[in-house]
Structure 1
Amino acid sequence: MANPAAKYSLTTRIFLGMLAGILLGTLLRALFDDSGDFAFSVFGLHVSTYALLVEGIFNIVGKIFIASLQMLVVPLVFVSLVCGTCNLSDPSRLGRLGGKSILLYLVTTALAITLAVTFALLVAPGEGINLDTSATFSASEAPTFSEVIIGMFPTNPINAMAEGNMLQIIVFSVLFGIAMAMSGKAGTKLGEMFEDLNKVVMRLVTILMNLAPYGVFALMAKLFATIGFDTITSLLKYFLLVLFVLAVHAFISYPVLLKVLTGLNPMHLLKKMRDAALFAFSTSSSSATLPVTLETARNKLGVRNTVASFTVPLGATINMDGTAIMQGVATVFIAQVYGVDLSVSDYLMVILTATLASVGTAGVPGVGLIMLAMVLQQVNLPVEGIALIIGVDRLLDMTRTAVNVTGDCMVACVVAKSEGELDIDTYNNPRAGSKEETVDFEHFDKNR
């Protein structure tokens, strides 16, 4: 008997799982509450239906799914980046790859926050809104730029992997790959082993992707069973404006940049990003989505591993376009709520601070709120204003993560095209990355 799931593509199954989770979560919130309504007894224990489903089944399945994705991040980045680096015919190209990648990420972040500030000034989301400005928020202190640079180099690479410090893992992997490339026969033997490891890890990614619809269903059901829509209603103008600017950046800024810089058809990129974007939306984590993003860049978009293994993990760490958009709109919103008039120079400072902070706070927990606190302090706005918008930030975080991973793959395509490391046939093939189509990088290497 044929598997019913085989009738539908992975994207369709993930979307159906997400939709079912949203509907069930909304229904549960309407019918039950966490006080124990519709409770029953099991072996003499008083059990709430709401708690059993939301805090029990959905919570467990969702967290196992996220943990499974995070489990793959460190081995995937380390193995893939070592493979890509040791295969470079000229290790000095890494400097060029890094320079191009970081420059493009900074440019897209600056563009994102410029769009956000511009639209926020036009729409004025904070005018006429009477919110409780007595709310307080305590932001963690951001590290200095010098501390970030020093912190990129691990004193203990094993500890860096255990803690998931992505910048340190990237630096160690690059150095290890370069050493392998310079070690002659020993490096070649070890490289073959890493190539085999890379295939095994990517197979694990494929297995998890097939289980994704169930994980996404559980995550969405739990989220929408617990989120309150009354907060969204009071901040509807701000909420919709952030979503609008995120959409503009994803569907206009990225395609225009890709077309101008490479001449490629942007529609292929947007269509092939569906799986990764749905993963990112469900998990709200670029790092957790990294296995899927890397698989998309390599197998669907045709970015060779020497570029994808470096550019995509770097983007998952420092690319903060979606966060920058939130910061731009939030800064204008908070200024208007508190009745503070910002000058043109203040807005330029907002753009500069948010752009540089996207690198300076890379890998720091709660990076979005830390960056926003830094921006507010630069223009003398009360940091406590963050408390006004934190109630709707969870839903917005899901959307801006989807935007971030799209930007990661766009930059990977641009860098790969400029380095001659993009398989154009794979990029233009709508079925690339499916079970019927795989990227033959060995054939690609021989014919470059």
Structure 2
Amino acid sequence: MSTEKQSKWEAYKQPVILIACVLVGAVLGIVLGDKAAFLYPIGQIWLNMLFVLLVPLIFFSISSSIAAIGDTRRVGKLLIMTIAIFIITAAIAGTIMFIVTAIFKPDTSITIETTSAAVESAEQSIGDQIVNTFTVSDFPDVITRAHILPLIVFTVFFGMTVSTLGEKGRAVSEWLANMSTVFYQMVNILMKFAPIGLACYFANLTGTYGPELLASYGRGLLIYYPTMFAYFFIFLGLYAFVAAGRWGVQHFFKEIFVPALTSLGTRSSAAALPLQLRACDNMNVPREVSSVVCPMGATMHMDGACLATVYEIVLCCALFNHPLNGIGDYAYALVIAVAASIAVSSVPGGGAAMETMLISSFGFPSAALPILIMMTQLFDPGCTLVNSCGDTVASMMVSRFLYGKDWYKRAPEKAD
């Protein structure tokens, strides 16, 4: 039992310490007021170091993963169907959060001055926004944190090109993998100082803007977690019904209990992966489906993250006086949320990369990043629960579309 408690503490230790330090910093800022500004340089130095690491981290981690992929032509149809389901369900999750935030609006008791970049972004046409979000016109522009999504597009293209070179590209692929390991470790080291950096930053932030800023977090929890649980029971149940009717709903909720508790308790989709695969076996999901969909889903299928990302977009739009006007703005925000949750989630430290993408896409000031990092920590257990369990139901849906409505009646595969 002591080992189990220790394991749970290890899973939650980092966010607990981080949240505690941020609260200490926030209280210190409230007490000191404007005098807390002396802590600003410490927080900003940590933030700048994180910004510097993001671009090479994204490039090496994603390109090395893609470059290592072998011939996928045999499973082409499976991959296309899997990615399509990931995108569709993430878009549904994001749309739901837009509806919820339209009814229960984020806290708007405080607004923070915006930048000219936000105004310029708002004045662009939808076509210009799409072009400028996914591409840039010159190479130096693609290696800046102001253009995260174009960087990802370039990185995927680069990784695929290395993969097509076969033996000639092996040396490059190995170099990319080694560089990815280096930057992964740099982020790990830097994140050890996150409690200090964010505590100092929040001390200055609350010292400048007052305790009203903290109300945004409390309201965020009251909005996100009921929405997350509603999505889990209603929409994952609906996806199971699409996959296998009433049988699918009954067996999904029966088999998902242990994986769900594991993902919630460890805050890790990877930790729950073996249990997700066992749940798929118990529901007779073909191995050739579950062995692809679940591992891919652990890094790409992020419905819970999409729920959180949409809320964070709406929150920042409220905080920084950057309203979403019309269906075009909401469609653009949904594309960004889905792309961020799918594309960046596989990157070590991907939460910060995802939040940086939001900042660059909407022109929010850099002050938004610590706010979003804190919000992500609060949402993370719920995100992991939906992300992980969504992989199992996605395996069921892929089986339905590949093998027909009676897929679960096939002869069960024996364990190896």
Q: TM-score range by the shorter chain?
A: 0.5 to 0.7
Instruction: Give 1:45-444 correspondences, 5 Å limit.
Output: 94-129=75-110, 142=148, 143-151=151-159, 155-156=169-170, 235-263=217-245, 264-298=247-281, 300-344=282-326, 345-420=328-403, 424=408, 441-442=413-414
Following superposition, the deviation at residue 392 of structure 1 comes to: 4.2
Following superposition, the deviation at residue 289 of structure 1 comes to: 3.1
Q: String of CA shifts for 1:261-294, please: whole Å, max 9, x gaps.
A: 4324323212311222222223323234323322
Q: String of CA shifts for 1:72-113, please: whole Å, max 9, x gaps.
A: xxxxxxxxx99xx9xxxxx96611111110000000111111
Other structure's SS at 1:127 match: coil
The answer as to whether partners of 1:15 and 1:278 remain within 8 angstroms in 2 is no
Cα gap change, 1:369 to 1:118, in 2 (>3 Å): farther
Task: Provide the rounded CA distance (Å) in 2 between the counterparts of 1:232 and 1:14.
Answer: 33
Partner amino acid for 1:341? P
The answer as to whether partners of 2:242 and 2:397 remain within 8 angstroms in 1 is no
Cα gap change, 1:352 to 1:338, in 2 (>3 Å): same
Task: Provide the rounded CA distance (Å) in 1 between the counterparts of 2:111 and 2:325.
Answer: 23
The answer as to whether partners of 1:285 and 1:401 remain within 8 angstroms in 2 is yes
Task: Provide the rounded CA distance (Å) in 2 between the counterparts of 1:307 and 1:367.
Answer: 26
The answer as to whether partners of 2:240 and 2:252 remain within 8 angstroms in 1 is no
In percent, how many aligned pairs have the same letter?
22
Other structure's SS at 2:403 match: coil
The answer as to whether partners of 1:287 and 1:316 remain within 8 angstroms in 2 is yes
Cα gap change, 1:14 to 1:417, in 2 (>3 Å): farther
Gaps of 5+ in 2: 25-68, 116-143, 164-168, 182-194, 200-210
Other structure's SS at 2:367 match: helix
Gaps of 5+ in 1: 6-12, 35-80, 86-90, 166-222, 427-438, 444-448
The answer as to whether partners of 2:114 and 2:321 remain within 8 angstroms in 1 is no
Residue range with higher mean Cα deviation, 243-252 or 355-364: 355-364
Task: Provide the rounded CA distance (Å) in 1 between the counterparts of 2:73 and 2:261.
Answer: 36
Task: Provide the rounded CA distance (Å) in 2 between the counterparts of 1:386 and 1:315.
Answer: 26
Partner amino acid for 2:369? I
Task: Provide the rounded CA distance (Å) in 1 between the counterparts of 2:175 and 2:268.
Answer: 22
Following superposition, the deviation at residue 365 of structure 1 comes to: 1.9
Partner amino acid for 1:326? A
Cα gap change, 1:267 to 1:164, in 2 (>3 Å): farther
Partner amino acid for 1:238? G
Provide the aligned length of Structure 1 versus Structure 2: 298
Q: What is residue 45 of structure 2 aligned with on the other side?
A: none
Partner amino acid for 1:400? C
Following superposition, the deviation at residue 423 of structure 1 comes to: 6.4
Q: String of CA shifts for 1:276-314, please: whole Å, max 9, x gaps.
A: 22222233232343233223322x322121111111111
Cα gap change, 1:141 to 1:284, in 2 (>3 Å): farther
Residue range with higher mean Cα deviation, 141-150 or 107-116: 141-150
Cα gap change, 1:358 to 1:17, in 2 (>3 Å): closer
Instruction: Give 1:10-49 correspondences, 5 Å limit.
Output: none
Q: Work out which of the two has the higher radius of gyration on C-alpha atoms and give 1 or 2.
A: 1
Following superposition, the deviation at residue 415 of structure 1 comes to: 1.0
Q: String of CA shifts for 1:379-426, please: whole Å, max 9, x gaps.
A: 333342232243343231121011001111111011123333986369
Cα gap change, 1:331 to 1:362, in 2 (>3 Å): closer
Task: Provide the rounded CA distance (Å) in 1 between the counterparts of 2:146 and 2:265.
Answer: 26
Cα gap change, 1:287 to 1:162, in 2 (>3 Å): farther
Cα gap change, 1:234 to 1:116, in 2 (>3 Å): closer
Task: Provide the rounded CA distance (Å) in 1 between the counterparts of 2:231 and 2:385.
Answer: 11
The answer as to whether partners of 1:322 and 1:401 remain within 8 angstroms in 2 is yes
